[in-house]
Homo-oligomer: A and B are copies of this chain.
């Protein structure tokens, strides 16, 4: 097990319905030392890519992206979730349909901060069905920029998001891929990487 898998086993909580709570270190309380390890590991995995910008989405992707950004010496742009279509100024907009929550959301990024010369690393905390991630990729493509890679903290390997993105040819690196979880025993099985 790597450092993140060990931490998930130690402090993650498995709930009924394939819910994995990691709010004590990842997405409500945030362990910055852990984020630094994650940033270093993303840099190792994307070392050969000419990344000049990191794109994430509010809210829980922001901390990971900001700490990772130090290792890439790049600014971070975070996409905003919006239920409104009343956008001030010039924005890239992606319509994102959540299969889980049965609702449509917009993901928006100002056109000022993403251009065709940009080489983008997308970072987020979780990947399950991948709806938010699909929106971010769509926005990078709208800008004519290049998705150099996608770095995820925890992927639910038993949901479709990851395989769809890999099938599309993107370099998707998830630091921990959960293959299965058992709420009764608390046991978590990770995919060998």
Contacts and interface: CB of A to CB of B under 8 A. Distances in A.
A67 B70 CA distance: 10
26 contacts: A23-B110, A23-B113, A24-B113, A25-B75, A28-B77, A28-B78, A28-B80, A28-B110, A29-B75, A29-B110, A30-B77, A30-B78, A31-B75, A32-B66, A32-B69, A32-B70, A32-B75, A35-B66, A58-B59, A59-B59, A62-B66, A63-B63, A63-B65, A63-B78, A66-B67, A67-B67
A44 interface: no
Interface string A17-58: 000000111001111100110000000000000000000001
A66 B30 contact: yes
Contact of A113 (B28, B36, B113): B28
Contact of A62 (B24, B62, B77, B80): B62
A70 B35 CA distance: 11
A112 interface: yes
A65 B64 CA distance: 12
A51 to B, nearest CB: 13
Nearest to A25: B75
A107 interface: no
Nearest to A55: B29
A76 interface: yes
Contact of A32 (B28, B76, B80): B76
A75 B30 contact: yes
A76 B78 CA distance: 18
Interface string A60-91: 00110111011000111110100000000000
A41 B32 CA distance: 19
